[in-house]
Amino acid sequence: MSPSFVDCHSHVVPSSDDGAGSVEEGVALCREAARHGTTILFATPHVWPHLVLTETREAEVREAYEHMRNDNAGLELRLGWELTPTAALLEEDPHRYVLEGTDCVLMEVPFTGPAGELVALAERTEGAGLRPVIAHPERTEAVLDRPELADELAARGWTLQVNATSLLGRHGDEPAELGWDFLERGIATIVASDGHRPTRPPHLDEAHALAVRRLGDERALPLFDGSALGLATPSRTAARAAST
């Protein structure tokens, strides 16, 4: 039985950021993800310091999302957000940004500069009874300069997510080496696509196949099937049944 993937990080819903440019392009990306084994795909539009989530923007995103959900996208599409930490977000209720159907909030280590605001936002999220999921630490300046930071974040009980494209070497050798190191040592427990557009689609199957070769199927599957988010999928259920 082929595994079914849960992808908690993508930009397939148009939202004025650098992801899908239209509903039609987003639906095509969803169908592409489904063809590559994804059964649950979270659309996580950026919330950037220069692109905040106003009421108008949120309404537009949700309208596009509903159109896509009703357009036979070939998988279960859910909505969440990817937060770039800012002081302003510390004043908001993190429940606004949860990954639909979970108690998780996706946030990134800033690509440049220190991680202080990330730590503050993760603490704020945790204090609200939610779980921080830290996106692609292997690609960020703070972690590349001091890889021990990833260990420190994980030691606090926060979930780390590595990009599939990092594991495939598409962001360079150092992010690839760090990504694999985090998975091999159990520092990171989720692999997601961070898919943006047709030239960077939301695929997980190639990274999963490589993870099976490097880690073995038993260790690879939970990185891709939603286990770390508390989601049960057919592949996970089948794997558990087969082992009993």
Give me the DSSP letters along 13-32.
S--SSSS-SSHHHHHHHHHH
pLDDT band at 72 (very low <50, low <70, confident <90, very high): confident
Residue-range definition of the domain harbouring residue 171: 5-242
Residue 214, CA distances (Å) to 52, 184, 217, 232, 236 in order: 40, 9, 9, 24, 19
Residues 75-102 have a mean pLDDT of: 98
* Percent residues over pLDDT 90 in the chain: 91
Report CA Rg, the chain.
17
Q: Which CATH number covers residue 190?
A: 3.20.20.140
Residues 35-49 have a mean pLDDT of: 97
pLDDT band at 1 (very low <50, low <70, confident <90, very high): low
- Residue 72's Cβ-count burial label (10 Å; 0-12, 13-18, 19+) is exposed
Residue 232 has what pLDDT? 62
Single pTM value for the model: 0.94
Residue 165 has what pLDDT? 98
Residues 224-241 have a mean pLDDT of: 70
pLDDT band at 71 (very low <50, low <70, confident <90, very high): confident
* Percent residues over pLDDT 70 in the chain: 94
Q: Has residue 236 got a pLDDT over 50?
A: no
Residues 200-223 have a mean pLDDT of: 97
CA gap 33, 35 in Å, rounded: 5
CA gap 54, 69 in Å, rounded: 22
CA gap 88, 157 in Å, rounded: 24
Residue 2 has what pLDDT? 79
pLDDT digits (tens, 9 = 90+) for 10-33: 999 999 999 999 999 999 999 999
Residue 243 has what pLDDT? 37
CA gap 234, 88 in Å, rounded: 39
Residue 76, CA distances (Å) to 8, 30, 42 in order: 12, 9, 8
Residue 233 has what pLDDT? 54
Number of domains in the chain: 1
Residues 56-70 have a mean pLDDT of: 96
Lowest mean per-residue pLDDT among 81-90, 140-149, 191-200, 232-241: 232-241
Residues 119-138 have a mean pLDDT of: 98
- Quick one: which of 161, 160, 239, 163 has its CA closest to 207? 163
CA gap 164, 168 in Å, rounded: 6
